[in-house]
Amino acid sequence: MGRYVSIWFRHLHTDWFSIKNPRLKELPFVLRTPVHGRMVITSLNAKAASQGIFQGMVLADARAIVPDLEVQDDPPELTNKLLTRLAEWCIRFSPVVSVDPPDGIIIDASGCSHLWGGDNSYLKTITERLHAIGFTSRVSVADTVGLAWGLARYGHSLISLPGQTRESLLPLPPEALRLETETTERLYKLGLRKVSQFIQFPRTSLRRRFGDHILHQIDKACGQAMELLVSVQQPEPYQTRLPCMEPIVTAPGIEYALNLLLEQLCLKLRDEQKGLRAAVLKGYRVDGKVEEISIATNKATHHVSHLFKLFEIHIAHIEPALGIELFVLEATVVEDHLPQQEMMWAGVGGFEDIRLTELADNLSNKIGSNALQRYLPDEHYWPERSFRTSLSLLEKLTTQWPLDKIRPTQILSRPELIEVTAPIPDYPPMLFRYKGKIHQIVKADGPERIEQEWWIQQGQHRDYYRVEDDQGKRYWLFRLGHYHDKSFKWFLHGFFA
């Protein structure tokens, strides 16, 4: 039997505002949202509640009761954001925590509370820690999610002892079963104010009068129907752990541990036809710190020696200090990996070759993932934009490389200003001076005008010339702007083979 904790935040939104602005804690304070053209109170703090204001009240009515009411807008989407963050914070109490909108969190506390010394002190710790942050909460624990939910909101006692689900459920009001408002109202109309008054009714008559929903909710509260929790953080399925009898301080020790862990992990991955794309090795040190090294691969793999090689470079970055007592290897990104593919391409060469992928992994692991680039053609005439980096080793060409344009092999990332003597507009220059040296131009081709792509960048066009000097050296020059504008400039942009 499981144990579940339900946390109810009575003033979730207003508490959050008060944390940011402590002044609001002392004032009657509400949050408003427009509903059908009226301002309606959606959240209020304890002080406002004590003066007779309730949720769903129209703001004008509330102002009539409390003239000095502090009002602010209720931001939409705040509930989800707050609950998710609080749920992530609650992972310290149990690994499985899920959000329970609109105002709660459910924790799967099975086997957890004894670590805090029993249910009592477990709940007390949670309440106190939340209070220290600034959230008012009611926290309950029970054998089922439904009962814990009801106890947190409507129960006198917050703890339902194991095996006493039905007993704890009986004194609760019908709302504690999470029923629709309509059903609850009908129950009250019939004078059924406690669960104990109708729970023993025959199921058929309950169904006839109130529908299927009520039976389902009773089953959930009693533990006869399953209720699934969706944890905010999924537990890592591909993980191997190695606790050490003696703290490890040496590099060979770490290597040995890494090898053992990799073998276990890769065996598991291979059995499930998976491969890892990213992995992290964590070393928990005696002094409580955690040392981490991580790797990434370009393609899913479960090749032990390759992965070991990737990790090996980083082992020097681990600082064992007094020693590492627990190693955890975790595959953070896992993809399908079918062994037939690997066999087909082994030893062929080319981009599909597994050896090339491993080389790419090695390089990006050592010198950074941006160091390795492959370029594909891009449909732009502007030279700097005529190619783009490819997303992966295997990306296919969508357009062909242009063959009609003659382009230099070497290009300057920033064109260099040169001095030029040119006879008339549109004629290639006669000579140019680059880095203090004068080049007499013997042959030339051009101009090839390349216009700016105005939807990307503003500026003047370039008139390109291919020129050859008296030494037989070939250059790519361009004139920026029109000849008759007088503001034109000449640049050297590249070197031809």
Partner 1 sequence: MESASKAQILSRLQSDILRFQGFKPADHLDHSAWLGAINQSFPNATFPTGAVHEFIAPGMEEMAATSGFVSAVASHLMKSHGVAMWISQRQWMFPPSFKSFGLDPDRILFVKTSKEKESLWVMEEALKCGALTVVVSELCDLTFTASRRLQLAVEQSRVTGFVLRHRYKKLSTNACVSRWQVSSLPTDSIDDLPGIGFPKWKVELLRIRNGYPNTWNVQWNNGEFNISSRQTEPISIETEAQIKFG
Which residues make up the interface to partner 1 (CB under 8 A)? 347-351, 353-356, 358-360, 362-363, 366-367, 370-377, 383, 386-387, 390, 393, 397, 401-403, 405-413, 442-445, 466-468, 470-474, 494-497
Measured from the CB atom, the residue of 176 and 467 that comes closer to partner 1 is 467
Rounded Cα–Cα distance for residues 82 and 85 (Å)? 5
Measured from the CB atom, the residue of 245 and 391 that comes closer to partner 1 is 391
Residue 494 beta carbon to partner 1: minimum distance, rounded to whole angstroms: 6
- List C-alpha distances in Å: 313 to 309, 318, 329: 7, 11, 16
Measured from the CB atom, the residue of 123 and 444 that comes closer to partner 1 is 444
Q: Are 45 and 14 in contact (CB under 8 A)?
A: yes
Rounded Cα–Cα distance for residues 330 and 118 (Å)? 32
Phi and psi, residue 158, nearest 5°: -95, -10
Residue 456 beta carbon to partner 1: minimum distance, rounded to whole angstroms: 18
Measured from the CB atom, the residue of 86 and 360 that comes closer to partner 1 is 360
Measured from the CB atom, the residue of 175 and 448 that comes closer to partner 1 is 448
Rounded Cα–Cα distance for residues 340 and 438 (Å)? 62
Residue 316 beta carbon to partner 1: minimum distance, rounded to whole angstroms: 15
Residue 378 beta carbon to partner 1: minimum distance, rounded to whole angstroms: 10
Residue 135 beta carbon to partner 1: minimum distance, rounded to whole angstroms: 49
Measured from the CB atom, the residue of 92 and 405 that comes closer to partner 1 is 405
Residue 416 beta carbon to partner 1: minimum distance, rounded to whole angstroms: 11
Phi and psi, residue 253, nearest 5°: -65, -45
Rg (CA), the chain: 36
Measured from the CB atom, the residue of 54 and 427 that comes closer to partner 1 is 427
Residue 425 beta carbon to partner 1: minimum distance, rounded to whole angstroms: 18
- In sequence order, what DSSP letters do the residues of 69-100 get, joined into one string? -EEEE--TTHHHHHHHHHHHHGGGT-S-EEEE
Measured from the CB atom, the residue of 204 and 409 that comes closer to partner 1 is 409
Residue 317 beta carbon to partner 1: minimum distance, rounded to whole angstroms: 18
Residue 294 beta carbon to partner 1: minimum distance, rounded to whole angstroms: 21
Beta strands at 462-469 and 38-44: parallel, antiparallel or unpaired? unpaired
Residue 358 beta carbon to partner 1: minimum distance, rounded to whole angstroms: 8
Q: Are 294 and 249 in contact (CB under 8 A)?
A: no
Residue 238 beta carbon to partner 1: minimum distance, rounded to whole angstroms: 28
Measured from the CB atom, the residue of 50 and 370 that comes closer to partner 1 is 370
Nearest to 304 by CA among 353, 358, 344: 358
Q: Are 276 and 295 in contact (CB under 8 A)?
A: no
- List C-alpha distances in Å: 444 to 53, 104, 473: 87, 77, 11
With tokens 């106890």, the residue in question is 151
Q: Long-range contacts made by residues 409-414, C-beta under 8 angstroms, separation at least 24?
A: 409/494, 409/495, 409/496, 409/497, 410/494, 410/495, 411/383, 411/476, 411/493, 411/494, 411/495, 412/492, 412/493, 412/494
Residue 375 beta carbon to partner 1: minimum distance, rounded to whole angstroms: 4
Name the residue type at position 471.
Q
Nearest to 365 by CA among 448, 307, 285, 422: 307
Q: Are 142 and 113 in contact (CB under 8 A)?
A: no
Nearest to 342 by CA among 380, 306, 308, 302: 302
- List C-alpha distances in Å: 211 to 175, 199, 218: 16, 14, 12
Measured from the CB atom, the residue of 250 and 392 that comes closer to partner 1 is 392
Measured from the CB atom, the residue of 147 and 444 that comes closer to partner 1 is 444
Measured from the CB atom, the residue of 181 and 409 that comes closer to partner 1 is 409
Rounded Cα–Cα distance for residues 483 and 426 (Å)? 8
